[in-house]
Structure 1
Amino acid sequence: MSAFSAIGNDREVDQNEFTPGIEPQPTWCPGCGDYGVLKALKGAMAELGKDPEEVLLCTGIGCSGKLNSYFDSYGFHTIHGRSLPVARAAKLANSDLEVVAAGGDGDGYGIGGNHFMHTARENHDMTYIVFNNEVFGLTKGQTSPTSPQGHKSKTQPEGNAKAPIRPLSLGLTSGASYVARTAAVNPNQAKEILVEAMEHDGFSHVDFLTQCPTWNKDAKQYVPYVDIQDSDDYDFDVSDRREAQEMMHETEDALYEGTVLTGRYYVEEGRRSYQQEKRHRGSMPEQPLAERYFDDSAEWERSFDYIDRHK
């Protein structure tokens, strides 16, 4: 039994099934990297054989927040920086859903940074795509948490006085069990990484470089790029935290020096996701909460049933 009839269907899926009929054509600026995220996400879902009704896409505010307007699945357009707590709640209620959260670098690493840190620490089983264009795009080009030091904008006309955060390192130290970086200019790698991220059991953090030709002309197109898995110049063990950390540090330095490194940086296998850990400890029922709404014979617990445990 499933709370959604499409879950578990074994069939071939065409990526065009994720194109909505009401607003099929995105309205991002010409040349925007967000088109690359949308294409890669559609392709990844089709490759995984996911039905649109098996998927929930939660987005924040900003240009990236328009993603679920152009992606036909269940969707929740949250307030600024709050896509992750909504996505977490949905996954806890129905663990069979393929849950994807998405937001920009300001949305995810700025106002939503605390949610990002703790969702990674708890290892919730979902994929988080952060559109990283090093600028606030929707609100016309203000400095963001990933803007390089010295970058001039409306909010920092004399140049950004702050060093940018390190997204990959932040994901790793917070506790994400899958960390990768890809770019809109590398569509094949982007699709492959999103497939891996969604197949991974645990919290998958994908830092997705998306060029903003309108408001961030410094970043240009993030080309040329180097896939660290295909290059002989980089050799490290993605399952080793220390080696992954060193490679991330090198990658984050290189970006602002003009070298774009992308690929898989850290993959931790065997660690229980938050949902699995809760079930292992007996504090979460095997039957998803969402299914109880469709099961007349389901027994519902109430908080007062557990009060005696704390006496």
Structure 2
Amino acid sequence: MSAFNAIGEKREVQREDFTPGIEPQATWCPGCGDFSVLKALKGAMTELGKNPDEVLLATGIGCSGKLNSYFESYGFHTLHGRSLPVARAAKLANPDLEVVAAGGDGDGYGIGGNHFTHTARENHDMTYIVFNNEIFGLTKGQTSPTSPKGHKSKTQPHGSAKDPVRPLSLSLTSGASYVARTAAVNPNQAQEILVEAIEHDGFSHVDFLTQCPTWNKDAKQYVPYIDVQENDEYDFDITDRREAAEMMFETETALHEGKVLTGRYYQDADRPSYGQEKRAVGEMPEVPLAERYHDDSYEWERSYDMLDPHK
């Protein structure tokens, strides 16, 4: 029995299945890169044969937080910076559920930065999409953690005195087992990367460059972009942490020098996920909690009933 009887059900899935009837048309600003994230996510789920009942999308606050309003699946619109702990809990309670978390650069690398580093460290089996437009968009254009040094905004009228966060490098050093960067202007690559990220067993972090034509005109369109896997100038092994780290540093430096590099940067396919580790040492039940409490005949347990105080 599955906690959701649609999980694992074999049926043909169309992209339109992920378009909700209540809010079928996204209302982001014209030219916003967020439209590309929505399109790529719908395409990836369709390509993987997932149906909406098999997916949970947890989002934070901001323009990116509206993603689950425009995407038909189970959804949870969390507090600012808190999409990851909600997504982690859902995945641990029901491992068969395909869990995706999403948030902006301020939401994910600033307010929720602690959750980001520890979710990566523990290697929870989920995909985290960060809409990186280098600005706080919903609150009308304040400096964000990824805004470049010298960037002028309402909160930094004389220019930011701080170096920006390096999200790819931070993700790798924290322990993410799949790290990639794509851009709204490269929809084919974006869908391919999301497919790989969702299929990966472990924490997948996708830094998604999304232009904000309303509040961050400096970033423009993130073009022209270079795919590091398709350009002969860049040759590195994505399974080698040292080589990946060097390529990430070059990519993050180049972005603020006018060169947009995208692609896959790191993957560790052998590392067990957090759930696998916990089940291996007997700290998680073999039958998921979601399975138990979906069964009306199951007798509820309390945490203190599951623990042996003498161990």
The two structures have a TM-score, normalised by structure 1, of: 0.98
Which residue in the other structure is 2:111 paired with? 111
Which residue in the other structure is 1:206 paired with? 206
Over the aligned positions, Cα root-mean-square deviation in angstroms equals: 1.1
Which residue in the other structure is 1:77 paired with? 77
AA aligned opposite 1:66: K
> How many aligned residue pairs are there?
311
The change in CA–CA distance for 1:310 and 1:303 in structure 2 (over 3 A counts) is farther
Which residue in the other structure is 1:219 paired with? 219
Which residue in the other structure is 1:230 paired with? 230
SS of the counterpart of 1:309? coil
Deviations 1:130-151 (A, max 9, x none): 0000000000000000000000
SS of the counterpart of 1:250? helix
Question: Hey, what's the Cα distance between the residues in 1 that align with 2:150 and 2:130?
Answer: 23
2:43 corresponds to 1:43: yes
Question: Hey, what's the Cα distance between the residues in 2 that align with 1:295 and 1:215?
Answer: 49
Which residue in the other structure is 2:178 paired with? 178
Contiguous gaps of at least 5 residues in structure 2: none
- Which shows bigger deviation, 163-172 or 290-299? 290-299
AA aligned opposite 2:4: F
Which residue in the other structure is 2:257 paired with? 257
Which residue in the other structure is 2:196 paired with? 196
Deviations 1:86-108 (A, max 9, x none): 00000011001000000000000
| Contact persistence 2:55–2:99 (CA under 8 A) | yes
Which residue in the other structure is 2:23 paired with? 23
Q: Counterparts of 1:259-274 in structure 2 under 5 Å?
A: 259-274=259-274
Instruction: Note the C-alpha offset of 1:10.
Output: 1.7
Q: Counterparts of 1:120-135 in structure 2 under 5 Å?
A: 120-135=120-135
The change in CA–CA distance for 1:307 and 1:288 in structure 2 (over 3 A counts) is closer
The change in CA–CA distance for 1:70 and 1:307 in structure 2 (over 3 A counts) is closer
Question: Hey, what's the Cα distance between the residues in 2 that align with 1:90 and 1:24?
Answer: 26
Deviations 1:226-275 (A, max 9, x none): 00000100000000000000000000000000000000000001111000
Deviations 1:36-86 (A, max 9, x none): 000000000000000101000000000000000100110000010000000
Question: Hey, what's the Cα distance between the residues in 2 that align with 1:117 and 1:171?
Answer: 7
AA aligned opposite 1:17: D
Question: Hey, what's the Cα distance between the residues in 2 that align with 1:240 and 1:307?
Answer: 40
SS of the counterpart of 1:253? helix
Question: Hey, what's the Cα distance between the residues in 2 that align with 1:17 and 1:300?
Answer: 35
Which residue in the other structure is 1:290 paired with? 290
AA aligned opposite 2:133: N
Question: Hey, what's the Cα distance between the residues in 1 that align with 2:274 and 2:192?
Answer: 25
AA aligned opposite 1:193: I
Which residue in the other structure is 1:276 paired with? 276
Q: Counterparts of 1:145-184 in structure 2 under 5 Å?
A: 145-184=145-184
Question: Hey, what's the Cα distance between the residues in 1 that align with 2:105 and 2:302?
Answer: 39
AA aligned opposite 2:219: A
Question: Hey, what's the Cα distance between the residues in 1 that align with 2:8 and 2:307?
Answer: 37
Q: Counterparts of 1:53-72 in structure 2 under 5 Å?
A: 53-72=53-72
SS of the counterpart of 1:117? helix
Question: Hey, what's the Cα distance between the residues in 2 that align with 1:278 and 1:166?
Answer: 30
Which residue in the other structure is 1:304 paired with? 304
Question: Hey, what's the Cα distance between the residues in 1 that align with 2:55 and 2:218?
Answer: 35
SS of the counterpart of 1:182? strand
Q: Counterparts of 1:132-147 in structure 2 under 5 Å?
A: 132-147=132-147
Instruction: Note the C-alpha offset of 1:306.
Output: 4.9
Contiguous gaps of at least 5 residues in structure 1: none
Which residue in the other structure is 2:241 paired with? 241
Question: Hey, what's the Cα distance between the residues in 1 that align with 2:307 and 2:138?
Answer: 48
| Contact persistence 2:293–2:300 (CA under 8 A) | no
